[in-house]
Amino acid sequence: MPALLEIDRVTRRFGGLTAVDDVSGHVREGELVGLIGPNGAGKTTLFNVICGFTPPSSGEVRFAGTRISGLKPWRICRLGIGRTFQNLRVFPNMTVFDNVSVGAAGREGHSPLDALWRSAAARERSAAISRRSWAALERTGLADVAGELAANLSYGRRKYLEIARALATGPRLLVLDEPAAGLNDTETQALARFITSLAAEGLTILLVEHDMGLVMSICQRVMVLASGRKIADGTPEEVQRDEAVLEAYLGVAEEGA
Protein backbone atom coordinates (compact mmCIF):
# COMPACT_ATOMS: atom_id res chain seq x y z
CA MET A 1 0.00 0.00 0.00
CA PRO A 2 1.42 3.45 -0.89
CA ALA A 3 2.09 5.93 1.91
CA LEU A 4 -0.67 8.47 2.59
CA LEU A 5 1.62 11.32 1.49
CA GLU A 6 4.34 10.73 -1.09
CA ILE A 7 6.85 13.42 -2.01
CA ASP A 8 8.49 12.26 -5.20
CA ARG A 9 11.69 14.01 -6.33
CA VAL A 10 10.31 17.48 -5.69
CA THR A 11 12.39 20.46 -6.79
CA ARG A 12 11.29 24.08 -6.43
CA ARG A 13 13.37 26.90 -7.89
CA PHE A 14 12.93 30.63 -7.43
CA GLY A 15 14.92 32.19 -10.27
CA GLY A 16 18.47 30.94 -9.83
CA LEU A 17 17.86 29.71 -6.29
CA THR A 18 16.92 26.08 -5.66
CA ALA A 19 14.89 26.21 -2.44
CA VAL A 20 13.96 22.50 -2.53
CA ASP A 21 16.31 20.21 -4.39
CA ASP A 22 15.17 16.75 -5.52
CA VAL A 23 13.50 15.84 -2.21
CA SER A 24 11.64 12.55 -1.77
CA GLY A 25 9.90 11.37 1.37
CA HIS A 26 6.64 10.01 2.69
CA VAL A 27 4.24 9.98 5.61
CA ARG A 28 2.36 6.76 6.30
CA GLU A 29 -1.19 6.62 7.62
CA GLY A 30 -1.11 7.08 11.42
CA GLU A 31 2.46 8.42 11.57
CA LEU A 32 3.60 11.55 13.39
CA VAL A 33 6.53 12.82 11.33
CA GLY A 34 8.70 15.89 11.90
CA LEU A 35 10.29 18.04 9.22
CA ILE A 36 13.19 20.09 10.52
CA GLY A 37 16.17 21.99 9.16
CA PRO A 38 18.20 25.13 9.80
CA ASN A 39 16.99 28.54 8.58
CA GLY A 40 16.55 28.66 4.82
CA ALA A 41 16.63 24.84 4.53
CA GLY A 42 13.49 24.79 2.39
CA LYS A 43 10.93 23.58 4.96
CA THR A 44 8.33 26.26 4.27
CA THR A 45 8.78 25.90 0.52
CA LEU A 46 8.25 22.13 0.69
CA PHE A 47 5.27 22.68 2.99
CA ASN A 48 3.79 25.12 0.45
CA VAL A 49 4.32 22.64 -2.37
CA ILE A 50 2.49 19.93 -0.38
CA CYS A 51 -0.47 22.23 0.37
CA GLY A 52 -0.70 23.69 -3.14
CA PHE A 53 0.46 27.22 -2.32
CA THR A 54 3.34 26.94 -4.75
CA PRO A 55 3.80 24.44 -7.60
CA PRO A 56 6.93 22.28 -7.81
CA SER A 57 9.37 23.08 -10.63
CA SER A 58 9.66 19.33 -11.10
CA GLY A 59 8.64 16.17 -9.30
CA GLU A 60 5.23 15.52 -7.78
CA VAL A 61 3.32 15.05 -4.56
CA ARG A 62 0.71 12.30 -4.19
CA PHE A 63 -1.92 12.01 -1.50
CA ALA A 64 -3.72 8.71 -1.00
CA GLY A 65 -2.32 7.63 -4.36
CA THR A 66 -3.60 10.70 -6.25
CA ARG A 67 -1.32 13.34 -7.73
CA ILE A 68 -2.05 16.62 -5.93
CA SER A 69 0.79 18.86 -7.07
CA GLY A 70 -0.63 21.55 -9.33
CA LEU A 71 -4.07 21.46 -7.64
CA LYS A 72 -5.40 24.57 -5.92
CA PRO A 73 -5.06 24.70 -2.10
CA TRP A 74 -8.84 24.38 -1.54
CA ARG A 75 -8.95 21.21 -3.64
CA ILE A 76 -6.08 19.74 -1.66
CA CYS A 77 -7.89 20.69 1.54
CA ARG A 78 -11.03 18.97 0.30
CA LEU A 79 -9.05 15.83 -0.49
CA GLY A 80 -8.09 15.68 3.18
CA ILE A 81 -4.99 17.75 3.99
CA GLY A 82 -5.63 20.33 6.73
CA ARG A 83 -2.94 22.90 7.43
CA THR A 84 -2.11 25.64 9.89
CA PHE A 85 -0.18 28.80 9.12
CA GLN A 86 3.09 29.86 10.72
CA ASN A 87 1.87 33.47 10.87
CA LEU A 88 -1.56 33.14 12.38
CA ARG A 89 -4.31 33.73 9.85
CA VAL A 90 -7.12 34.15 12.27
CA PHE A 91 -9.85 36.66 11.34
CA PRO A 92 -9.73 38.95 14.40
CA ASN A 93 -13.17 40.52 13.94
CA MET A 94 -15.00 37.23 13.57
CA THR A 95 -16.04 35.06 16.46
CA VAL A 96 -14.05 31.98 17.37
CA PHE A 97 -16.92 29.82 16.10
CA ASP A 98 -17.10 31.64 12.76
CA ASN A 99 -13.33 31.34 12.30
CA VAL A 100 -13.63 27.59 12.69
CA SER A 101 -16.72 27.23 10.55
CA VAL A 102 -14.80 28.85 7.66
CA GLY A 103 -12.58 25.75 7.72
CA ALA A 104 -15.52 23.38 7.99
CA ALA A 105 -17.37 25.16 5.16
CA GLY A 106 -14.34 24.81 2.90
CA ARG A 107 -14.46 21.06 3.38
CA GLU A 108 -18.22 20.76 2.85
CA GLY A 109 -18.19 22.75 -0.39
CA HIS A 110 -20.61 25.19 1.23
CA SER A 111 -21.88 27.91 -1.11
CA PRO A 112 -23.01 31.38 0.06
CA LEU A 113 -26.15 30.70 -2.01
CA ASP A 114 -27.04 27.77 0.24
CA ALA A 115 -28.95 30.19 2.47
CA LEU A 116 -31.10 31.16 -0.51
CA TRP A 117 -31.89 27.67 -1.78
CA ARG A 118 -32.83 26.23 1.60
CA SER A 119 -32.76 22.82 -0.02
CA ALA A 120 -32.44 19.67 2.07
CA ALA A 121 -28.87 19.26 0.81
CA ALA A 122 -28.01 22.86 1.77
CA ARG A 123 -29.53 22.37 5.24
CA GLU A 124 -27.58 19.15 5.70
CA ARG A 125 -24.35 20.93 4.69
CA SER A 126 -25.00 23.70 7.24
CA ALA A 127 -25.68 21.13 9.95
CA ALA A 128 -22.49 19.26 9.07
CA ILE A 129 -20.48 22.50 9.23
CA SER A 130 -21.91 23.25 12.65
CA ARG A 131 -21.20 19.71 13.91
CA ARG A 132 -17.63 19.73 12.64
CA SER A 133 -17.00 23.21 14.06
CA TRP A 134 -18.27 22.33 17.54
CA ALA A 135 -16.29 19.09 17.55
CA ALA A 136 -13.10 20.96 16.63
CA LEU A 137 -13.77 23.60 19.30
CA GLU A 138 -14.38 20.93 21.95
CA ARG A 139 -11.22 19.08 20.92
CA THR A 140 -9.06 22.20 21.22
CA GLY A 141 -10.61 23.42 24.46
CA LEU A 142 -12.16 26.51 22.85
CA ALA A 143 -15.86 25.67 23.10
CA ASP A 144 -16.30 27.99 26.10
CA VAL A 145 -15.07 30.99 24.08
CA ALA A 146 -16.92 30.14 20.84
CA GLY A 147 -18.86 33.43 20.91
CA GLU A 148 -15.84 35.65 21.66
CA LEU A 149 -14.14 37.72 18.98
CA ALA A 150 -10.92 35.99 17.95
CA ALA A 151 -9.08 39.26 18.61
CA ASN A 152 -9.82 38.82 22.34
CA LEU A 153 -8.01 35.47 22.60
CA SER A 154 -4.48 35.25 23.95
CA TYR A 155 -1.74 34.43 21.42
CA GLY A 156 -1.51 30.89 22.79
CA ARG A 157 -5.23 30.26 22.37
CA ARG A 158 -5.19 31.74 18.88
CA LYS A 159 -2.69 29.00 18.00
CA TYR A 160 -5.28 26.42 19.05
CA LEU A 161 -7.86 28.30 16.99
CA GLU A 162 -5.63 27.78 13.93
CA ILE A 163 -5.48 24.08 14.73
CA ALA A 164 -9.24 23.95 15.35
CA ARG A 165 -9.88 25.45 11.93
CA ALA A 166 -7.66 22.82 10.31
CA LEU A 167 -9.35 20.02 12.33
CA ALA A 168 -12.78 21.30 11.26
CA THR A 169 -11.88 20.43 7.68
CA GLY A 170 -11.89 16.77 8.80
CA PRO A 171 -8.35 16.09 7.60
CA ARG A 172 -6.76 12.68 7.03
CA LEU A 173 -3.40 14.48 7.24
CA LEU A 174 -2.79 17.48 9.49
CA VAL A 175 0.21 19.61 8.51
CA LEU A 176 1.34 21.99 11.23
CA ASP A 177 3.61 24.90 10.33
CA GLU A 178 5.75 25.87 13.31
CA PRO A 179 2.95 25.60 15.88
CA ALA A 180 5.34 26.25 18.78
CA ALA A 181 6.68 29.57 17.42
CA GLY A 182 6.19 32.29 20.02
CA LEU A 183 5.07 29.91 22.80
CA ASN A 184 6.86 29.69 26.16
CA ASP A 185 8.17 26.40 27.59
CA THR A 186 5.01 25.57 29.52
CA GLU A 187 2.80 26.31 26.52
CA THR A 188 5.09 24.26 24.26
CA GLN A 189 4.84 21.29 26.63
CA ALA A 190 1.06 21.55 26.63
CA LEU A 191 1.11 21.72 22.83
CA ALA A 192 3.34 18.63 22.71
CA ARG A 193 0.78 16.71 24.80
CA PHE A 194 -2.03 17.95 22.59
CA ILE A 195 -0.33 16.93 19.32
CA THR A 196 0.58 13.55 20.83
CA SER A 197 -3.05 13.00 21.82
CA LEU A 198 -4.26 13.80 18.28
CA ALA A 199 -1.75 11.27 16.92
CA ALA A 200 -2.87 8.70 19.50
CA GLU A 201 -6.41 9.05 18.13
CA GLY A 202 -5.07 7.95 14.74
CA LEU A 203 -4.64 11.31 12.99
CA THR A 204 -1.66 11.40 10.62
CA ILE A 205 0.50 14.47 11.31
CA LEU A 206 3.39 16.22 9.59
CA LEU A 207 5.00 18.71 11.95
CA VAL A 208 7.23 21.40 10.44
CA GLU A 209 9.03 22.92 13.37
CA HIS A 210 12.07 24.90 14.47
CA ASP A 211 11.86 23.63 18.05
CA MET A 212 14.12 20.58 17.96
CA GLY A 213 13.17 19.57 21.48
CA LEU A 214 9.50 19.39 20.57
CA VAL A 215 10.11 17.41 17.38
CA MET A 216 12.53 14.97 18.98
CA SER A 217 10.28 14.35 21.96
CA ILE A 218 7.05 13.57 20.12
CA CYS A 219 7.78 12.47 16.52
CA GLN A 220 8.18 8.84 15.51
CA ARG A 221 10.27 9.80 12.50
CA VAL A 222 12.11 12.94 11.48
CA MET A 223 13.10 14.20 8.04
CA VAL A 224 15.89 16.76 7.92
CA LEU A 225 16.43 19.33 5.18
CA ALA A 226 19.55 21.45 4.70
CA SER A 227 20.17 23.82 1.79
CA GLY A 228 17.12 22.40 0.03
CA ARG A 229 18.21 18.76 0.17
CA LYS A 230 17.00 15.96 2.41
CA ILE A 231 20.04 14.93 4.43
CA ALA A 232 18.46 12.49 6.91
CA ASP A 233 15.28 10.52 7.55
CA GLY A 234 14.99 8.29 10.58
CA THR A 235 13.97 7.96 14.20
CA PRO A 236 14.81 10.90 16.49
CA GLU A 237 17.69 8.83 17.94
CA GLU A 238 19.12 8.09 14.48
CA VAL A 239 18.79 11.67 13.31
CA GLN A 240 20.39 13.11 16.45
CA ARG A 241 23.60 11.18 15.89
CA ASP A 242 23.67 11.60 12.12
CA GLU A 243 26.96 13.25 11.01
CA ALA A 244 25.36 15.27 8.19
CA VAL A 245 22.68 16.63 10.55
CA LEU A 246 25.22 17.60 13.21
CA GLU A 247 27.32 19.30 10.56
CA ALA A 248 24.34 21.19 9.08
CA TYR A 249 23.28 22.52 12.49
CA LEU A 250 26.83 23.12 13.76
CA GLY A 251 27.73 24.89 10.53
CA VAL A 252 24.78 27.22 11.02
CA ALA A 253 25.71 27.74 14.70
CA GLU A 254 29.31 28.58 13.78
CA GLU A 255 28.24 30.99 11.04
CA GLY A 256 26.05 32.76 13.59
CA ALA A 257 28.85 32.87 16.24
For ligand ATP, which is the closer residue by CB, 16 or 147? Answer: 16
Establish if 230 lies at the interface with ligand ATP (CB under 6 A). no
Least distance in angstroms from the C-beta of 240 to ligand ATP: 19
For ligand ATP, which is the closer residue by CB, 15 or 202? Answer: 15
115/79 Cα distance (integer angstroms): 25
Contact region for ligand ATP (CB under 6 A) — 37-45, 58-66, 108-116, 215-223? Answer: 37-45
Figure out which of the listed residues 41, 76, 168, 214 binds ligand ATP, where binding follows CB under 6 A: 41
Figure out which of the listed residues 21, 28, 30, 40 binds ligand ATP, where binding follows CB under 6 A: 40
Per-residue mark of binding to ligand ATP, 184-213 (x: CB under 6 A): --------------------------x---
Establish if 19 lies at the interface with ligand ATP (CB under 6 A). yes
For ligand ATP, which is the closer residue by CB, 19 or 90? Answer: 19
Residue 35 CA to chain centroid, in angstroms? 11
* CB-count exposure of residue 233 (10 Å: 0-12, 13-18, 19+): middle
Establish if 39 lies at the interface with ligand ATP (CB under 6 A). yes
